[in-house]
Structure 1
Amino acid sequence: MSGELVGLIGILALFGLLIIRVPVAISMFAVGFAGIWALRDLKSAMSLMASESFTLASSAELVVVPLFILMGNVASVTGMSARLYDAAYAIIGRFRGGLASATVLGCAGFAALSGSSVASALTMGKVSMAEMDRFNYDNRLSTGVVAAGGTLGILIPPSTGFVIYAILTQQSIGRLFLAGVLPGLLLLAMFIATIAVLCWLRPGFGPAGPRTTISEKTRKLVGALPVLAVVILTIGGIYTGIFSPVEASAVGAGLIIVIGALMGKLTLSSFWAAAKDSVVTTATVMLILISAHMLNPFLALTHIPSLVGDFLAGLDVGPMAILGLILLTYLVLGCFLEGFAMLVLTMPIYFPVITQLGLDPIWFGVLVVLTLEMGLISPPVGVNVFIVKSVAKDVPLGRIFAGVTPFWFAMLLTLVVLVIFPQISLLLPNTMMN
């Protein structure tokens, strides 16, 4: 049996396992291990499993994953994430659709703490949806804005998606973090503009909230300052070169813990809950990475990545047309596959093509992560939609998908802008390196 045929069988088996809801890490590990066994022998598969597990587990770069996750979890259990929402609500809540815009801003703030889209959607859903219901927001807008706003967690640094992309492609985590800042702010602005347009077309979607006094605005803003200071310090430290990403994650997590303790909000039990959740999430990410390093050698042995790469590179079209085809593939796959699974499956195939075409790998990373975000709210798998459904149990799933649709198109417009103007993604990392 040829390597190409074994590879095709392996890919079909992987899709089959994912369709029947076998966890991503287990699916990739099983296919990779069995594929290497079939193409080489059991000893090679066992040896690779042991060496890759140890190499990844001992990688200093991956320390950023548990520390940034811990930072976000501590901010959540101590109520610091709610303070971000309260500050945004006090400033813009009185405008039509202001509560929804405040929710997006709160999601962006929490994303800058946790780097997790699911955590952002879940936390902000619990914090904001009751308020929007209280002021008679249409449930399509209230659920849609939480599901879409949560996707900012994978783009605004620190982003787990960027960390995995960096490990898979041997790129700089720091440069990727900085490359996500301006695109993240652009997407944030697109979401707020979408809310404004929706509430202008249909005023009943987002009624204006109560006015707040200057003193109330000031008090809420001051309450959010410690969290904002930590975000600015960690990202600013990476930009200025004061911290490496690993050091920034340690500083950020340490400061959030100290602030929570000084506020009297961080008890031993709440810290234990945050730490336990961080360990579970980190273990999930590590399993995916270990599985990726089992699957990728199997795909390399089948020569499928090089065959697909040669085919794409040999097309009689320009580099931008090939890039568009790759991104279209991600948009289609995002309707059926979990984002990290897409990264692991496609990077061995597409990344060599990108480098062969001379396209910037950091810019490509931003585009890929943004398309992964779109998959989080794309039917039928849209993870963030189901997260919001778990909070808003009385809202039909169809109405939630209807609510996220305008935001999906806002993300598509942002993707087009970033493709046309790569400088938006590359300005900060190129400035840092210079």
Structure 2
Amino acid sequence: MIIGVRVAFAAAIAGFLGLVWIFSAKLGFERGLLVAIKMAGTIPHSKVSSLALSLIPTFILIGFLAYHAGLTRSLFEAAKRWVGWLPGGMGVATVFSTAGFAAVSGASVATSAVFARIAVPEMLKLGYDKRFAAGVVAAGGTLASLIPPSAILVIYAIIVEQDVGALLMAGFLPGAVSALIYGGLVVFLALTRKNFGPPVRGFTWKERFETLPGAMLYSQ
């Protein structure tokens, strides 16, 4: 990894050399090499063929489809119009919209990457601090590790041999509570610090309700 080899190939090379080393010590180099080659051809397939692991790329794909279809922007616009009036409102809107996207993507990196393109430019345009804007997106992205479908929880359930569905559902409440805590923290910082970030006001109730069909379509 230090010399720039991709993680997947670095792990594969290290694992294969480890197998050769272990079996060569027991069976000799030639037989140990043959056994290592056979195991290297069967173990990866048995691991990646798990049906539970198929959830991970599927939900990441759904998340990016939602982004390119413009549904994530609709979700962010709805959050901005409904909670943007709060102190630090754009930060609060970002937290809740990342929580909504986390319920689809299942990946923290994908969530952060999507809203770095949507929320950060909006906050910078309104005069929010660049570090704060990036921090809110990064913090909101971590919600995808709790809110189902969470790729991390899927992998963890397989490692500890627990029911994947039950563990995913167990992560919903902590994820929702974390989103509320993050949103409350943004409001607290905006109240205690000057020029932290202006609220977004001026939306009528009609304009707010106009965003609900897009947000509801996204949730479906």
What is the TM-score with the length of structure 1 in the denominator? 0.47
Is the 8 Å Cα contact of residues 132 and 142 (structure 1) preserved in structure 2? yes
Aligned to 2:88: 97
Query: 1:208-227 alignment to 2 at 5 Å?
Result: 208-227=199-218
**4+ residue runs of structure 1 moved beyond 4 angstroms?**
none
How many residue pairs get aligned? The number is: 212
Q: Secondary structure at the match of 2:195?
A: helix
Is the 8 Å Cα contact of residues 83 and 220 (structure 1) preserved in structure 2? yes
Q: Which runs of 5+ in 2 are unaligned?
A: 24-31
Aligned to 1:22: 5
Aligned partner of 2:160 among 144, 169, 178 = 169
Aligned to 1:152: 143
Alignment root-mean-square deviation, CA: 1.6
Aligned partner of 2:69 among 59, 78, 81 = 78
Task: Map Cα deviations across residues 166-218 of structure 1 (whole Å, 9 max, x no partner).
Answer: 23232221112111111111211121121112111113111111221111111
Query: 1:6-21 alignment to 2 at 5 Å?
Result: 17=1, 19-21=2-4
Percent identity at matched positions? 38
Aligned partner of 1:36 among 4, 14, 19 = 19
Distance 2:53 2:130 in 1: 39
Task: Map Cα deviations across residues 38-79 of structure 1 (whole Å, 9 max, x no partner).
Answer: 111212221221111222343222221232122111101001
Aligned to 2:27: none
Deviation of 1:105 after TM superposition, in Å, equals 0.7
What code does the residue aligned with 2:170 have? A
Q: Secondary structure at the match of 1:203?
A: coil
Aligned to 1:125: 116
Task: Map Cα deviations across residues 131-188 of structure 1 (whole Å, 9 max, x no partner).
Answer: 1122111222111101111121222111111122223232221112111111111211
Aligned to 2:198: 207
Distance 1:147 1:116 in 2: 12
Is the 8 Å Cα contact of residues 141 and 206 (structure 1) preserved in structure 2? no
Deviation of 1:20 after TM superposition, in Å, equals 4.6
Aligned to 1:182: 173
What code does the residue aligned with 2:68 have? V
Q: Which runs of 5+ in 1 are unaligned?
A: 1-16, 231-434
Q: Secondary structure at the match of 2:128?
A: coil
Task: Map Cα deviations across residues 81-107 of structure 1 (whole Å, 9 max, x no partner).
Answer: 111111111101122101110001111
Aligned to 1:141: 132
Deviation of 1:21 after TM superposition, in Å, equals 4.7
